[in-house]
Amino acid sequence: MGMAYGNNLVYVVCFYLTTMGLALAKITNDHVDKVRIENIFTKEVFAETQQLLFVSIQNTTKNYLKRIEIKIAKEKQSVFIDLKPEELQTVEILWTPGKRGHGIIPNIVLQSSYPADLFRAWKVFKKKQEIIVYPARNGSREFPQSGSNSQDSIGILKEIKDYQPGDSPKRIHWRSLAKSGQVRTLVYEGNEAQLCYFDWQQLQHLDTEKKLEQLSLWISMAESIGFPWHLKLTHSEYKSEDVNGVKLALTELAKWK
C-alpha cells in the first residue's frame, strides 16, 4: 500500500508493528530462557496411579517472570506460575506412570506466551533418572483371613460404630467402606494392633500380575492404617519392622519376572 500510494505513513506503521513484534518475541523468549529447572523428583511411584511429580524452578534474573507454564511432555495438563526475582519455587504436577518395573522421570516442558499470546517459546528438560515403579494397587480391599499368622491379633473387637470427627484413621473399617461407601470405625478392648499375613500361595487363583497388584494394595493398606504385616514370597520374606521393609518388599514386587 505504501509503494502503491506513495504513503510514508504506511511505511511507519509497518516498521512500528514489525519492531513491536520483535520486541514481544524477545520478551517471550526471555521468559523461558531465564528460567532454570533445578531438580525433578518424586516419592513412591505406583503404576497406573496419579502421582505428584515435584519440579523445582529457579528465576535467574532480577525481574518478575509471569505466566510460566510447566507441563509433562506430550501431556495436556499444565501448571502456570509467576516467579519473583531470583525466586526458587517447587511446583507439583500430576503424573500417571505406566507399567511396573524400571522407569525414568518424564521430560518436562517449560513454555510461555507472555505478554501478548502472539508467540510461544519453550524448552524441554530431560532428566534421565531411573526410578522404580511399584505394581498398581488393585484387588480386594479385604485382608486375607487364612495363613499361620493371619489371625495374630491383640485385643477384642467390641463394636463397629459410625465414624466421628476425631476418630483415628487407623480404626476405619475398610470392608464397610468398600462395600457400602459408609465410613465406620472399629472399637477394641485393649490393644488393637493386628498382624497382617500376606502369602504368595494365598493367591494361586490369580495370574502373576494380579498377584503383584493385590500384594501391593495390601501392603499399602496395612501401612496406611498402622497394622504390622508379614509378606512371604516364593524365595524371600519381608516384615514391616525390617529396615526399609516397605521399600524392599515393593521393589521386589516391581522387578518380579
**Tens of pLDDT, residues 62-105:** 999 999 999 999 898 899 999 999 999 999 999 999 899 999 99
Asked if 102 and 130 count as a contact pair (C-beta separation under 8 A), the reply is yes
Polymer length of the chain = 257
- Per the rule left: phi > 0, alpha: psi between -120 and 50, beta: everything else, 137 is beta
3-state secondary structure string, the chain?
CHHHHCCHHHHHHHHHHHHHHHHHHHHHHHHHHCEEEEEEEECCCECCCCEEEEEEEEECCCCCEEEEEEEECCCCCEEEEEECCCCEEEEEEEECCCCCEEEECCCEEEEECCCCCCCCEEEEECCCCEEEEECCCCCCCCCCCCCCCCCCECCEEEEEEECCCCCCHHHECHHHHHHHCCCEEEEEECCCCECEEEEHHHHCCCCHHHHHHHHHHHHHHHHHHCCCEEEECCCCEEECCCCCHHHHHHHHHHCCC
Quick one: pLDDT at residue 168? 63
For the chain, percent of residues with pLDDT exceeding 90: 53
pLDDT at 159 over 80: no
Residues 6+ apart with CB under 8 A from 67: 31, 80, 82, 112, 113, 114
Question: Binning pLDDT at 50, 70 and 90, where does residue 233 land?
Answer: very high
**Tens of pLDDT, residues 163-200:** 777 666 666 776 677 677 788 776 665 545 568 899 99
* Domains of the chain, start order: 2-133 (2.60.40), 156-254 (no CATH)
Give strand pairing partners of 56.
39, 90
